[in-house]
Structure 1
Amino acid sequence: MSPTTDAIDSVLLPTDGSDGALAGARRGVDLAATADATVHVLSVVDSSEIEGVASVLESDLDEQRAALEADAESAVESVATMVRERYPELEVTKTTERGTPYRVIDRYVDDNGIDAVAMGTKGRTGVRRVVLGSVTENVLRTVDVPMLVVSPAASDSPLTEDTVENVLLPTDASEGAAVAVDWGLALAETFDAMAHALYSVDVSRFPPQMEPDEIFSGLERSRKDALEGVRERARDRGVSLTGTIAAGPPARVILDYVDDNDIDLVSMGTHGRSGLERRFLGSVTETVVRNAELPVFCVPMGSE
């Protein structure tokens, strides 16, 4: 069954009180409002840096722990207040926990049946850091639900039918890309937006002895295989679609296409699993997430 935004009944907004966290929370609550989902706001106290300093007196440790917990509670309340002010009809659950941030977030997703997560890409640094930054990438590697990732440089424009006009669906014909394309079409349908299917091939990976005509003939075959299925699924949903093939490093092609075509939202897949069942974040997705100045909806393989 193809995914729909109706499948999102709950959205988790991790926060550490930073501007980066707030950027993720704002777009996450837009997604929750679109799906009429409940909102969970979570802040994780990571006191490992303090407790690892043996020279600190126990009384000082207690004071630092209390300060971190107060920061976490303030961060949660700030986001909850934002949610209530913008979408008073949404139900909000507030939680603070201790532990390793990405592990706590992953466990919270599983324990509470969360359907999507929204996070910023930048957070606090130093001793008073609570959640974000590199933690966002760790969460991307571990959670089994779609994740909306938002750069602080992204526009403050909300994700609504009035503002989302173009949704980009990068594809390489892999299973992971196909799942992300389905989610992207669902988002385009919800926002009544134009879907852009983009297939890119890094021509530097072709054997040097291949003639240009051979390369572009191969690209044309790949384009047809990758884009025809997208067209069929778009037609089934009644979504307007444009398809493009491009040559070059995929991440750079995607980022350039975003800039050149007024893209408002990207939906792309993370790839497979590696090691001890840890999700492996594809290098293309990682590069796009780090550099895109717009929300990126990251979909793990197996998401429905």
Structure 2
Amino acid sequence: MSQTVDSVLVPTDGSEGARIGARRGIDLAATVGADLHVLSVVETRDIEGGLDSHEQTEREQLLEEEAKGAVDSIARLARTHLSGRITTAVEPGIPFQTINDYVDTHDIDLVVMGTQGQTGFERVVLGSVAERTVRTAAVPTITVTPDADIVEVGEQRYENVLLPTDGSEGAELAIDWGITLAGLFDATVHTVYSVDTSRFGSAEGTEIHGSLEQTGQEALETVKERARAADVSLAGSLASGPAARTILSYSEEHDIDLIVMGTHGRSGLSRYLIGSVTETVVRNATVPVCCVPMQ
């Protein structure tokens, strides 16, 4: 089933990392003719604690002015490229929670954001606003690393989209989004299934290898059938080794421009993104990653 993208949300905190993500979001909105929403959250925890009421008021005003400047900067960049409506907002709260509330309130279809913001480059994505948004958002979130190529709006080309699969429900839900995004850019879909026996002893691993290969072939065939139905070009292959390492290696070797994957695989809904294949890929990929939730 093809997905529709009528509205794109770009959160920003005014940092260069956020701006890198915003360029991708604007570019995608321009490609599909979607409305763009630009949101900056005034972190309430930055206002409270150790300040008297006057100091809190001054601090709040300063942060609101900075937030308004951040959204206005992105909006100015977007206005020369978009035909859809541009909405800006500054709201107080805890960033990832406020982003999720905004998604629900404004019927957002897709979030695009940088993985590094005002926290600085010394912090990895673990614990950041981007990771918490990926964990909890009800819609797909595209994370853009500071290492991603900096492109001008209107010049981004997604020629190769990687859609990893493990045959799980989470991977199934990501297939439609991967094929939809590939179709928008007339890109080729690459799909890969990793046969990983590293968790087992040598004898046990040899015994189940054939079973995993069979599961992998079935999972790849599911992606191929969906791609053929959508008239999207596809390349698929089995690989060996830990899934995250396989995905990252495949991405580098095949000039992948975008990775699309579910936030949960065979570990199930009971696990957060922490420790999952998706989190490892988000942390280490040098290209944007579209994380599709189970909802």
TM-score w.r.t. length of structure 1: 0.88
Secondary structure class of the residue paired with 1:205: coil
2:261 alignment partner, SS class: strand
1:26 aligns with 2:23: yes
Corresponding position of 1:111: 105
Please show how residues 244-283 of structure 1 align to structure 2 within 5 Å.
244-271=237-264, 273-274=269-270, 280=273, 283=276
Secondary structure of residue in 1 paired with 2:219: helix
State the Cα deviation string for residues 46-78 of structure 1 (Å, max 9, x = none).
Answer: 13134122xx33322222111111110000001
For the residues of structure 2 that align with 1:225 and 1:178, how far apart are their CA atoms?
12
Superposed, which structure 2 residues align to 1:143-292 within 5 Å? 143-157=137-151, 163-210=157-204, 212=206, 214-271=207-264, 273-274=269-270, 280=273, 283-292=276-285
Q: CA deviation at 1:287?
A: 0.9
Which residue in the other structure is 1:129 paired with?
A: none
SS in structure 1 at match of 2:204 = coil
Which runs of structure 2 are paired with 1:84-163 in the superposition (5 Å)? 84-85=79-80, 87-125=81-119, 134-157=128-151, 163=157
What is the aligned counterpart of 1:295 among 284, 288, 294? 288
Aligned to 2:78: 83
Q: Deviations over 1:100-150 (max 9, x none)?
A: 111111111111111111110000038xxxxx9701111111111111110
Does the 8 A contact of 2:273 with 2:279 survive in 1? Answer: no
1:215, CA displacement in angstroms? 4.6
Contact kept in structure 2, 1:122 and 1:133, CA below 8 Å: no
Partners of 2:153 and 2:222 lie apart in 1 by 27
Relative distance call for 1:133 and 1:282 in structure 2 (3 A) is closer
CA drift at 1:24: 1.1
- Residues 1:159 and 1:172: Cα distance change in structure 2 (over 3 Å): farther
Q: Verify the 8 A CA contact 1:179 1:301 in the aligned structure 2.
A: yes
Q: Is the 8 A contact 1:47 1:68 kept in 2?
A: no
Structure 1 gaps, min length 5:
127-131
After TM superposition, give the deviation of residue 168 of structure 1 in Å.
0.2
How far apart are 1:248 and its partner, in Å?
Answer: 1.3
The two structures have a TM-score, normalised by structure 2, of 0.91
| Paired amino acid for 1:151 | T
Deviation at 1:298, TM superposition (A): 0.9
CA contact (8 A) 1:161 1:193 kept: no
Structure 2 spans left out of the alignment, 5+ residues: 121-125
Q: Is the 8 A contact 1:121 1:133 kept in 2?
A: no
Distance 1:209 1:281, change over 3 A: same
Deviation of 1:282 after TM superposition, in Å, equals 6.4
Q: Which residue of 1 aligns with 2:11?
A: 14
SS at match of 2:111: strand
Residue-pair matches, total = 287
- Distance (Å, rounded) in 2 between the aligned partners of 1:291 and 1:221: 29
| Mapped partners of 2:164, 2:19: distance in 1 | 27
Measure how far apart 1:218 and its partner are: 2.6
